[in-house]
Structure 1
Amino acid sequence: MADMIKGLFGGPKPSASPVPTGDSDFADFAGAPDPSPASFSAIPTAASFTGVGAAPTGDAVPWTAWYNVHERHSLSEFRQEGVILGFLVVIIIVHVIGTSSNRKKARSWITAHGAVLKKEFALVGFGGPQIPTVDQVETDGLMKVSDSLVWHESLMKEKSPQEFTTYASGRQNIAFIDVNLALHKRYSPITVAVEFAMSLFFESMSTPAERVEAVLYPFDGRESTTVPGQVPGAHELRKDVKSSYDGFVWAVVNKDTMKQLRDDRYDVSLTSTKDSSKLPNWVTIMSESAEITDFLLTPELIKAIESAGELLEHLIITDQPIAQPQTLDETIPKKRVHLSYRIPSSGDYSKLMPIFEYFVCLTDILVQGAHFRAEVLRKVKSTREDAIKRLQKADEDEKAEERALEREKSKKVKRDLELKGLDAKAQKKYLEKEKEREMKKMQKKQTQRG
């Protein structure tokens, strides 16, 4: 301690080694011993640590738990994320399988019905490749033609994963035809299960089914309302082409769907139901006249119905709207032919092809022979006239109510102007007289009721 005090206050310094000349700043360290290599080995380095809290050894790399992720974490910590990821993978797989299955069913339908559509119409689909002919199939083979031409977005559009549609036009007596395929939501099995369960507990909900719904719009002098850009009566420029026939409502209906069809459709509700001994017991006729039934129930149709079996839901010829008309414009006849049948689970459409072919050619039969006697048409028109009269009466009542409101409004304006032109005394007298008139009216009404 005395030596340190002396060194701080200028005392004599211990002599160790000679101080370099001219370098007095480092005089205090001049006597320090030179470091040797062995002295550095005692300094801990990064290689001297082997774990958390480990003492330096000088011969190991310091790989601690902080760098080893597998020591700090385990798969059990990501159990929740793994479950969520698993659910997402299952949902994606089910969606892909379901949508591809529906596309396959739509492809199967257009392949089976394509030959009929190609034969009867000039344009099939939405402007893309045409459906192959029989010669093409025989030459190139069915698989090759099906893969390259039949299934194409231009032939059948996918409106949604469970709904597909196609279109055809360019035929005598037909403006165009729309076809819609409604399939199960295979990409969402839970939704399908819920729909089936709901149909079991609620009668108002029908059992989900895969079906084809086709609507045919015939030419009948109303081209401007069905095909945009057409001149009314343009098809009649050719004397050999006349697409007109008498309007009526007639249907062949599966008894399982008869009640719901009558409740849902206004046009079918105008008919009366009667079974026919010529038809199977699971189907019935809904018609406005027995003479119409005798004309339409041909042997070809009976054979096609028997071939289709209970997959057939209905074949409807109508000129009335589906929904009950609310205005006079909606009562204007618009002729259509509807066909609906369930899609077979096997994918075999051979038994359904006769009814589809008959449906496409039905307008030819109607144009040739659907011209009935005046007595038959009088009965058919009477129902429509009753509906028109009800709408006319409702329209007249509505207009009368509007006129009454206008009169009341004009009277009120006139009264307000008269009151403004009077002084306070005259206004009081005016209001008293008005009140007396109202009381007299009330007494007169009560006397008339009594």
Structure 2
Amino acid sequence: MATFNIAKYLTPPMPDVSAEYDGLEYKWKFITFRPAYFKNELYFIAAALLYVACYFLGKQANRSRARKWFDEHLSIYQAQFSKPTHAAGLVQDGNSDFFVFSTGRRALTSLHTTFTLRPRHDLFQYLFQVARGLVELDYKVYDEVELEFTFREPVGREGAVPECVWAVVAKDELKKIRDERWDLTFTKTTDSPSLPNTLAVMSEFADITTNLLKPYGAFSLPAILSAPAIQPYFRSLSLTDQPRTRPAHPLPPSERTKRLILTLAVPPPSEAGATRPLVAAAFQLVDIVAGEGKLPGTPRGGLNAALRPETRTKLRKTREEVEREIREEAVREKREEAEEQKAAARKKAQEEKLSKLSAAEQKKVLEREKKRMLRKTQGKLKAR
């Protein structure tokens, strides 16, 4: 009987199929469908269809945008690498991330090309980005492609690429890049007369900037960065020997890498080839830094050999100081963690000991502890 009552409440009411209904009606055997009774459901179905349509259209738009950019630049990759891509070519990771791994080139271990596109497949996330951009004036979101060149230094020429941090950054990107890149905290930000006023230089020492911005034969980095067709898409170019995030412990030599990182805003498909000159120039800059280039004036022994001895000494001392600070901080954190563990163990032992006492004895111990803490607090107040 109880089961019957529960089933009665759980059973949905019968649909209204009374003869008084004179609207549009569809019948098939024992099924009757009256559209007039389904008003809100139409909006829900339309919203769901819109979301699904946005998902597939956005997914296709991202794939098309990334593929178009890479196809426009593929000839440069093929000319520079013996293995410009792996077998799958442009690899998709999710609906807004794509990457390519290239290897087989002098002076480089590898090139990672990574696309991070806007979430066009996710309508709610996309609208959130748009709304946030209207509220936060310094919030900028765009389709990004990053080329990370990792240097290879042959045996006997380990010092060709200097241990330094240097970058040219679009000024409207400075806040974002400072928040995301710990390695750029090594630098000071200045303007350069050879660059457009929309760009800033982040460098540890002026000597590095002088050597990287001066012309080498027909190659001139300032001239390339000043090109009107490139400026809308250039975000940053950085040479670094430090990780992006502050390490918890000093990195061993086997984990240290020297990298040239070029970050661009992905052009629309109709202008996908606009960044070709800058990508081609990045390879020339790699050869200049590594001392492998054939351009007139390329420093023999790499950029490190072109720097003044006092600059190299200061760079080395800066890194020694940072490593010392990281090591001391790691030791301090380890000591604090050990002290916290000891205090927790001591507290647990006291609680176990207290639990074995009678109620009256527990009360006496707690009162004694309370008086002790009160005296301790009063002593601190008097000392102040």
TM-score under structure 2 normalisation?
Answer: 0.71
- The equivalent of 1:111 in structure 2 is 71
Bigger mean CA offset, 270-279 vs 91-100: 91-100
CA 276–311 in structure 1, closer or farther in 2 if over 3 Å, else same = same
- 1:319 pairs, out of 210, 233, 241, with 241
State the Cα distance separating 1:376 from its structure 2 match: 0.3
Asked whether the equivalents of residues 326 and 391 of structure 1 are also in contact (C-alpha less than 8 Å), the reply is: yes
- The equivalent of 2:315 in structure 1 is 380
Q: Deviations over 1:240-282 (max 9, x none)?
A: x878322111101101111221232111111111111111110
- 1:98 pairs, out of 58, 67, 73, with 58
State the Cα distance separating 1:207 from its structure 2 match: 1.7
Asked whether the equivalents of residues 106 and 181 of structure 1 are also in contact (C-alpha less than 8 Å), the reply is: yes
For CA contacts below 8 A with separation 6 or more, give which structure has more relative contact order. 2
Question: SS of the counterpart of 1:329?
Answer: coil
State the Cα distance separating 1:354 from its structure 2 match: 1.5
CA 396–70 in structure 1, closer or farther in 2 if over 3 Å, else same = closer
Question: SS of the counterpart of 2:118?
Answer: coil
- The equivalent of 1:188 in structure 2 is 122
Question: SS of the counterpart of 1:123?
Answer: coil
d(CA) in 1 for partners of 2:30, 2:232: 65
State the Cα distance separating 1:400 from its structure 2 match: 6.2
Bigger mean CA offset, 272-281 vs 382-391: 382-391
**What is the correspondence of 1:82-97 to structure 2 with a 5 Å cutoff?**
82-97=42-57
State the Cα distance separating 1:288 from its structure 2 match: 1.0
- The equivalent of 1:286 in structure 2 is 202
d(CA) in 1 for partners of 2:65, 2:178: 30
State the Cα distance separating 1:77 from its structure 2 match: 3.4
Asked whether the equivalents of residues 242 and 367 of structure 1 are also in contact (C-alpha less than 8 Å), the reply is: no
Question: SS of the counterpart of 1:208?
Answer: coil
d(CA) in 1 for partners of 2:170, 2:135: 22
d(CA) in 2 for partners of 1:333, 1:78: 64
- 1:301 pairs, out of 221, 227, 251, with 221
- The equivalent of 1:342 in structure 2 is 265
Q: Which has the larger radius of gyration?
A: 1
How high is the sequence identity, in percent, across the aligned residues?
A: 24
- One-letter code of the match for 1:86? A
- 1:207 pairs, out of 140, 144, 150, with 140
Asked whether the equivalents of residues 68 and 269 of structure 2 are also in contact (C-alpha less than 8 Å), the reply is: no
State the Cα distance separating 1:209 from its structure 2 match: 0.6
d(CA) in 1 for partners of 2:192, 2:340: 55
CA 253–401 in structure 1, closer or farther in 2 if over 3 Å, else same = closer
- The equivalent of 1:359 in structure 2 is 282
d(CA) in 2 for partners of 1:361, 1:184: 30
Asked whether the equivalents of residues 173 and 243 of structure 1 are also in contact (C-alpha less than 8 Å), the reply is: no
1:156 aligns with 2:90: yes
- The equivalent of 1:439 in structure 2 is none
1:310 aligns with 2:232: yes
Q: Deviations over 1:168-199 (max 9, x none)?
A: 00001101111111222222333222112113
- Structure 2: gaps spanning 5 or more residues: 1-24, 292-301, 344-375
- 2:303 pairs, out of 344, 365, 370, with 370
d(CA) in 1 for partners of 2:159, 2:325: 31
d(CA) in 2 for partners of 1:399, 1:187: 45
Bigger mean CA offset, 302-311 vs 163-172: 302-311
Asked whether the equivalents of residues 91 and 100 of structure 2 are also in contact (C-alpha less than 8 Å), the reply is: yes
d(CA) in 2 for partners of 1:90, 1:402: 52
- 1:270 pairs, out of 175, 183, 186, with 186
CA 395–104 in structure 1, closer or farther in 2 if over 3 Å, else same = closer
Asked whether the equivalents of residues 72 and 272 of structure 2 are also in contact (C-alpha less than 8 Å), the reply is: yes
- The equivalent of 2:8 in structure 1 is none
Bigger mean CA offset, 398-407 vs 342-351: 398-407
- Structure 1: gaps spanning 5 or more residues: 1-64, 128-153, 221-234, 409-441
CA 389–338 in structure 1, closer or farther in 2 if over 3 Å, else same = same
**What is the correspondence of 1:387-398 to structure 2 with a 5 Å cutoff?**
387-397=322-332
State the Cα distance separating 1:324 from its structure 2 match: 1.6
CA 402–195 in structure 1, closer or farther in 2 if over 3 Å, else same = closer
Q: How many residues align?
A: 311
Asked whether the equivalents of residues 98 and 116 of structure 2 are also in contact (C-alpha less than 8 Å), the reply is: yes
State the Cα distance separating 1:285 from its structure 2 match: 0.9
d(CA) in 2 for partners of 1:213, 1:126: 18
- The equivalent of 2:351 in structure 1 is none
1:121 aligns with 2:43: no
Question: SS of the counterpart of 2:189?
Answer: strand
Asked whether the equivalents of residues 68 and 272 of structure 2 are also in contact (C-alpha less than 8 Å), the reply is: no
d(CA) in 1 for partners of 2:252, 2:137: 30
d(CA) in 2 for partners of 1:74, 1:393: 76
d(CA) in 2 for partners of 1:401, 1:305: 49
Question: SS of the counterpart of 1:285?
Answer: strand
Q: CA RMSD in A?
A: 3.6
d(CA) in 2 for partners of 1:199, 1:376: 42
